[in-house]
């Protein structure tokens, strides 16, 4: 039976703690491990446990974590989304996984969804020792995502972002903008399927804040993680939603084709549909097939160096 324990590790110069869960499958380790994190403003309770349970049932350990400033992790100001800081958190999570005696340091897989899917591409390009990666409905191109945004919402959010940037320069508390909202509202995601789809991922009883510091919007255009796909040397699976309203499918397909060992699976659903129901079953099945082919649970005997 799968066991889940709380886990935490330091990240950044101040050593703030990222907190999450470590799933370990039944049996004797060490196990291949999948490092997992969410997307824009998301926390681990928003269906990452559902994916991790399936992977663990198949024999993979899973380290699921919240970014600093979000969820159970430390860090202030709360809800401040800093791209560089989140990439640091990925590096810290990978390093932590490699130090655990029950996990296989040579079989670390990265799994990210939405904005986290973009982080997976960037992290796999930077760390050439990663065994494989899965980028689910990944955010690959800030310009493409910005162009897909409702024009009225874009103007509102940009104004709030500029105000928040000025507030930050003088040490004031952040001005928050909604992560998801109705069409034409001041929110980062305002497509017709965004607000309901995003909030539907939050289970009852979980403390969740549907906002982030508005200054983040000024950095969206500059983040084009898809450009790093050509430098990802490990096998990487791109799960692309063809009717994605947040991370447009066209740029995702173009970047995915540049990955030397890239594979593409396409789904007719939208950005928020593949976390639940029949679409969830299909995407998990595809991801497990990819994992079993490229990072099998039972592989060649490890050297003594790998197990110590």
Q: Helices (DSSP H) in the chain: which residue ranges?
A: 48-57, 83-99, 115-126, 142-147, 151-169, 194-199, 249-256, 277-294
Of 98, 48, 92, 52, nearest to 68 by C-alpha is 92
How far apart are the C-alpha atoms of 37 and 49, rounded to whole Å? 10
Q: What is the pLDDT, as a whole number, of residue 187? A: 96
- Chain length of the chain: 308
Alpha helices (runs of H) in 219-276, residue ranges in sequence order: 249-256
What's the predicted TM-score (pTM) here? 0.94
Residue carrying the six token digits 């790093």: 228
pLDDT digits (tens, 9 = 90+) for 88-116: 999 999 999 999 999 999 999 999 999 99
SS3 category, 211: strand
| Predicted local confidence at residue 1, as pLDDT | 72
Amino acid 201: pLDDT: 96
The answer to whether 267 and 241 are in contact (CB under 8 A) is yes
Domain architecture of the chain: domains with CATH: 3-148+224-294 (3.40.50.1820)
What is the reported pLDDT for 305? 37
pLDDT at 148: 86
Q: How much is the pLDDT for 224?
A: 96
Sheet holding 187-189, edge to edge: 187-189, 176-180, 211-213
The dihedral through the CA atoms of 218, 220, 221, 223 has a sign that is: positive
Q: How far apart are alpha carbons 4 and 23 in whole angstroms? A: 4
Tens digits of residue pLDDT in 149-181: 889 999 999 999 999 999 999 999 999 999 999
For residue 155 the two structure tokens come to 């103007």
Segments in the chain below pLDDT 50: 300-308
pLDDT at position 252: 97
């Amino acid at each position: 039976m799968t066991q889940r324990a709380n886990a935490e590790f330091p990240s950044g110069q101040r050593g703030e703690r990222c907190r999450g869960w470590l799933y370990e499958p039944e049996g004797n380790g060490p196990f291949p491990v999948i490092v997992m994190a969410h997307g824009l403003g998301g926390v681990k309770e928003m269906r990452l446990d559902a994916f991790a349970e399936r992977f663990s049932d198949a024999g993979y350990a899973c380290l699921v974590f919240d970014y600093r400033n979000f969820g159970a992790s430390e860090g202030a100001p709360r809800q401040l989304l800093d791209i560089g800081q989140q990439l640091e958190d990925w590096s810290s999570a990978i390093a932590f996984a490699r130090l655990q005696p029950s996990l296989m340091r040579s079989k670390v897989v990265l799994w990210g969804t939405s904005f986290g899917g973009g982080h997976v591409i960037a992290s796999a390009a930077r760390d050439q020792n990663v065994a494989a990666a899965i980028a689910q409905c990944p955010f690959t191109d800030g310009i493409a995502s910005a162009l897909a945004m409702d024009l009225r919402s874009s103007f509102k959010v940009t104004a709030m972002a500029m105000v928040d940037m000025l507030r930050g320069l003088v040490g004031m508390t952040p001005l928050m903008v909604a992560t998801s909202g109705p069409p034409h509202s001041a929110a980062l995601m305002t497509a017709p399927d965004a607000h309901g789809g995003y909030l539907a991922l939050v289970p009852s009883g979980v403390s969740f804040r549907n906002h982030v510091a508005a200054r983040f919007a000024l950095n969206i255009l500059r983040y084009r993680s898809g450009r790093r796909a050509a430098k990802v040397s490990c096998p990487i699976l791109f799960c692309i939603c063809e009717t994605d309203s947040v991370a447009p499918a066209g740029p995702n397909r173009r970047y995915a084709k540049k990955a030397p060992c890239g594979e593409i699976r396409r789904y007719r659903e939208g950005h928020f549909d593949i976390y639940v129901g029949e679409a969830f079953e299909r995407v998990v099945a595809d991801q497990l097939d990819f994992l079993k082919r490229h990072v099998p649970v039972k592989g060649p005997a490890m050297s003594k160096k790998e197990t110590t």
